[in-house]
Structure 1
Amino acid sequence: MIPRLFYLVAGAALGGYVVHKLNRTAQAWSPAGIADRVEDHVADYRAALREFNEDVQAAMERREAELRRQYGAGPTTPAGRASQPRGAIGAPDQKDGR
Protein backbone atom coordinates (compact mmCIF):
# COMPACT_ATOMS: atom_id res chain seq x y z
CA MET A 1 0.00 0.00 0.00
CA ILE A 2 2.80 2.46 0.89
CA PRO A 3 4.72 1.88 -2.39
CA ARG A 4 1.55 2.59 -4.42
CA LEU A 5 0.92 5.81 -2.51
CA PHE A 6 4.54 6.86 -3.00
CA TYR A 7 4.34 6.31 -6.77
CA LEU A 8 1.01 8.15 -6.94
CA VAL A 9 2.44 11.21 -5.16
CA ALA A 10 5.66 11.08 -7.19
CA GLY A 11 3.69 10.83 -10.45
CA ALA A 12 1.45 13.72 -9.51
CA ALA A 13 4.44 15.90 -8.59
CA LEU A 14 6.29 14.99 -11.80
CA GLY A 15 3.16 15.62 -13.88
CA GLY A 16 2.64 19.03 -12.28
CA TYR A 17 6.27 19.96 -12.95
CA VAL A 18 6.04 18.88 -16.60
CA VAL A 19 2.80 20.86 -17.13
CA HIS A 20 4.39 23.92 -15.52
CA LYS A 21 7.46 23.67 -17.78
CA LEU A 22 5.29 23.19 -20.88
CA ASN A 23 3.22 26.27 -20.02
CA ARG A 24 6.36 28.36 -19.54
CA THR A 25 7.80 27.14 -22.85
CA ALA A 26 4.54 27.86 -24.68
CA GLN A 27 4.42 31.37 -23.21
CA ALA A 28 8.05 32.01 -24.14
CA TRP A 29 7.42 31.06 -27.78
CA SER A 30 4.18 33.02 -28.07
CA PRO A 31 4.31 36.36 -29.92
CA ALA A 32 4.22 38.26 -26.62
CA GLY A 33 7.06 36.17 -25.20
CA ILE A 34 9.21 36.70 -28.28
CA ALA A 35 8.47 40.45 -28.20
CA ASP A 36 9.56 40.58 -24.56
CA ARG A 37 12.88 38.90 -25.37
CA VAL A 38 13.50 41.20 -28.35
CA GLU A 39 12.67 44.23 -26.22
CA ASP A 40 15.16 43.10 -23.58
CA HIS A 41 17.89 42.65 -26.19
CA VAL A 42 17.20 46.06 -27.73
CA ALA A 43 17.37 47.69 -24.29
CA ASP A 44 20.73 45.97 -23.67
CA TYR A 45 22.09 47.16 -27.02
CA ARG A 46 20.82 50.68 -26.39
CA ALA A 47 22.55 50.80 -23.00
CA ALA A 48 25.79 49.49 -24.52
CA LEU A 49 25.63 52.09 -27.30
CA ARG A 50 24.99 54.87 -24.78
CA GLU A 51 28.00 53.75 -22.73
CA PHE A 52 30.15 53.61 -25.88
CA ASN A 53 29.09 57.14 -26.85
CA GLU A 54 29.97 58.41 -23.37
CA ASP A 55 33.41 56.78 -23.60
CA VAL A 56 34.04 58.30 -27.02
CA GLN A 57 32.92 61.74 -25.80
CA ALA A 58 35.23 61.55 -22.78
CA ALA A 59 38.18 60.45 -24.93
CA MET A 60 37.49 63.25 -27.39
CA GLU A 61 37.36 65.83 -24.61
CA ARG A 62 40.65 64.55 -23.15
CA ARG A 63 42.31 64.70 -26.58
CA GLU A 64 41.00 68.22 -27.22
CA ALA A 65 42.32 69.40 -23.84
CA GLU A 66 45.69 67.81 -24.61
CA LEU A 67 45.86 69.55 -27.99
CA ARG A 68 44.84 72.88 -26.45
CA ARG A 69 47.63 72.57 -23.87
CA GLN A 70 50.12 71.59 -26.56
CA TYR A 71 49.27 74.33 -29.05
CA GLY A 72 48.01 77.00 -26.65
CA ALA A 73 44.59 77.51 -28.21
CA GLY A 74 42.18 79.82 -26.42
CA PRO A 75 39.01 78.71 -24.68
CA THR A 76 35.91 77.91 -26.68
CA THR A 77 32.25 77.59 -25.92
CA PRO A 78 30.70 74.13 -25.55
CA ALA A 79 29.40 74.28 -29.12
CA GLY A 80 33.02 74.45 -30.33
CA ARG A 81 32.80 78.01 -31.57
CA ALA A 82 35.15 80.82 -30.67
CA SER A 83 34.14 82.72 -27.55
CA GLN A 84 34.64 86.10 -29.28
CA PRO A 85 32.11 86.95 -32.01
CA ARG A 86 33.59 87.43 -35.46
CA GLY A 87 31.26 90.20 -36.49
CA ALA A 88 27.78 91.57 -36.24
CA ILE A 89 25.05 92.28 -38.71
CA GLY A 90 25.73 95.59 -40.38
CA ALA A 91 29.33 95.79 -39.07
CA PRO A 92 32.03 96.73 -41.58
CA ASP A 93 33.65 93.78 -43.29
CA GLN A 94 37.36 93.58 -42.44
CA LYS A 95 38.49 92.11 -45.74
CA ASP A 96 37.03 94.99 -47.77
CA GLY A 97 38.52 97.69 -45.55
CA ARG A 98 35.23 99.58 -45.32
Structure 2
Amino acid sequence: MFRRAFWFGAGAAAGAWATTKVHRKLRSLTPESLAQRAADRAVDTGHKVREFALDVRSGMARREGELHDALGLNHAPDEPGVLPGQVLPERVERPGIESRRRER
Protein backbone atom coordinates (compact mmCIF):
# COMPACT_ATOMS: atom_id res chain seq x y z
CA MET A 1 0.00 0.00 0.00
CA PHE A 2 2.81 2.40 0.87
CA ARG A 3 4.52 1.61 -2.40
CA ARG A 4 1.49 2.62 -4.38
CA ALA A 5 1.08 5.79 -2.35
CA PHE A 6 4.76 6.66 -2.87
CA TRP A 7 4.60 6.19 -6.65
CA PHE A 8 1.29 8.03 -6.81
CA GLY A 9 2.85 10.99 -4.94
CA ALA A 10 6.00 10.90 -7.09
CA GLY A 11 3.89 10.86 -10.26
CA ALA A 12 1.74 13.73 -9.04
CA ALA A 13 4.82 15.80 -8.16
CA ALA A 14 6.44 15.08 -11.55
CA GLY A 15 3.20 16.01 -13.32
CA ALA A 16 2.91 19.26 -11.38
CA TRP A 17 6.54 20.12 -12.10
CA ALA A 18 6.15 19.36 -15.83
CA THR A 19 2.91 21.36 -16.04
CA THR A 20 4.57 24.35 -14.38
CA LYS A 21 7.53 24.18 -16.80
CA VAL A 22 5.24 23.96 -19.84
CA HIS A 23 3.13 26.92 -18.69
CA ARG A 24 6.25 29.04 -18.09
CA LYS A 25 7.56 28.20 -21.56
CA LEU A 26 4.21 29.03 -23.15
CA ARG A 27 4.09 32.38 -21.33
CA SER A 28 7.61 33.19 -22.54
CA LEU A 29 6.54 32.54 -26.15
CA THR A 30 3.61 34.97 -26.21
CA PRO A 31 3.92 37.89 -28.65
CA GLU A 32 4.13 40.42 -25.80
CA SER A 33 6.91 38.50 -24.09
CA LEU A 34 8.85 38.08 -27.34
CA ALA A 35 8.48 41.79 -28.12
CA GLN A 36 9.70 42.74 -24.65
CA ARG A 37 12.69 40.42 -24.94
CA ALA A 38 13.56 41.81 -28.38
CA ALA A 39 13.30 45.38 -27.07
CA ASP A 40 15.57 44.58 -24.14
CA ARG A 41 18.16 43.03 -26.42
CA ALA A 42 18.00 46.01 -28.78
CA VAL A 43 18.63 48.38 -25.87
CA ASP A 44 21.56 46.26 -24.68
CA THR A 45 23.01 46.18 -28.20
CA GLY A 46 22.63 49.98 -28.44
CA HIS A 47 24.56 50.41 -25.21
CA LYS A 48 27.33 48.12 -26.43
CA VAL A 49 27.56 49.98 -29.76
CA ARG A 50 27.73 53.32 -27.95
CA GLU A 51 30.52 52.06 -25.66
CA PHE A 52 32.41 50.80 -28.71
CA ALA A 53 32.03 54.16 -30.46
CA LEU A 54 33.31 55.98 -27.38
CA ASP A 55 36.31 53.63 -27.20
CA VAL A 56 37.06 54.24 -30.88
CA ARG A 57 36.80 58.02 -30.45
CA SER A 58 39.14 58.03 -27.47
CA GLY A 59 41.61 55.85 -29.33
CA MET A 60 41.42 58.15 -32.34
CA ALA A 61 42.03 61.22 -30.19
CA ARG A 62 44.98 59.55 -28.47
CA ARG A 63 46.51 58.47 -31.78
CA GLU A 64 45.93 61.91 -33.29
CA GLY A 65 47.78 63.44 -30.34
CA GLU A 66 50.66 61.02 -30.87
CA LEU A 67 50.82 61.93 -34.56
CA HIS A 68 50.69 65.65 -33.79
CA ASP A 69 53.56 65.22 -31.34
CA ALA A 70 55.56 63.18 -33.84
CA LEU A 71 55.03 65.71 -36.63
CA GLY A 72 55.54 68.75 -34.41
CA LEU A 73 52.10 70.15 -35.08
CA ASN A 74 51.34 70.98 -31.45
CA HIS A 75 53.53 74.08 -31.41
CA ALA A 76 51.94 77.48 -31.91
CA PRO A 77 52.94 79.19 -35.17
CA ASP A 78 55.34 82.15 -35.03
CA GLU A 79 52.96 84.42 -36.92
CA PRO A 80 49.21 84.60 -36.34
CA GLY A 81 47.14 83.07 -39.11
CA VAL A 82 49.97 80.83 -40.31
CA LEU A 83 49.49 77.11 -40.24
CA PRO A 84 52.37 74.83 -39.24
CA GLY A 85 54.42 73.92 -42.27
CA GLN A 86 52.90 76.67 -44.39
CA VAL A 87 55.36 78.63 -46.51
CA LEU A 88 54.67 82.34 -46.71
CA PRO A 89 54.99 84.00 -50.14
CA GLU A 90 57.79 86.38 -49.06
CA ARG A 91 59.86 83.41 -47.87
CA VAL A 92 59.69 81.51 -51.15
CA GLU A 93 63.03 81.41 -52.85
CA ARG A 94 62.78 82.25 -56.51
CA PRO A 95 65.45 80.62 -58.60
CA GLY A 96 67.57 83.04 -60.61
CA ILE A 97 69.14 82.47 -63.95
CA GLU A 98 72.13 80.69 -62.40
CA SER A 99 69.99 78.11 -60.58
CA ARG A 100 67.89 77.49 -63.66
CA ARG A 101 70.99 76.69 -65.65
CA ARG A 102 72.12 74.22 -62.98
CA GLU A 103 68.78 72.38 -63.04
CA ARG A 104 69.09 71.61 -66.78
Superposed pair shares fold, TM > 0.5:
yes
Q: Partners in 2 of 1:8 and 1:69 — Cα distance?
A: 81
State the partner residue of 2:10: 10
Question: Helix, strand or coil: the match of 1:73?
Answer: coil
Task: Compare the two structures and name the one with the higher helix fraction.
Answer: 2
State the partner residue of 1:57: 57
Letter paired with 2:6:
F
TM-score relative to the length of structure 1: 0.68
Q: Partners in 2 of 1:20 and 1:36 — Cα distance?
A: 22
Question: Which structure has the larger Rg over C-alpha atoms?
Answer: 2
Question: Unaligned regions of 5+ residues in structure 2, if any?
Answer: 76-80, 82-104
> Displaced runs of 4+ in structure 1, greater than 3 A?
none
RMSD of aligned C-alpha atoms? 1.7
Question: Unaligned regions of 5+ residues in structure 1, if any?
Answer: 76-85, 87-98
Shift of 1:57: 0.7
TM-score relative to the length of structure 2: 0.65
Question: Helix, strand or coil: the match of 1:39?
Answer: helix
State the partner residue of 2:70: 70
Q: Partners in 2 of 1:23 and 1:73 — Cα distance?
A: 67
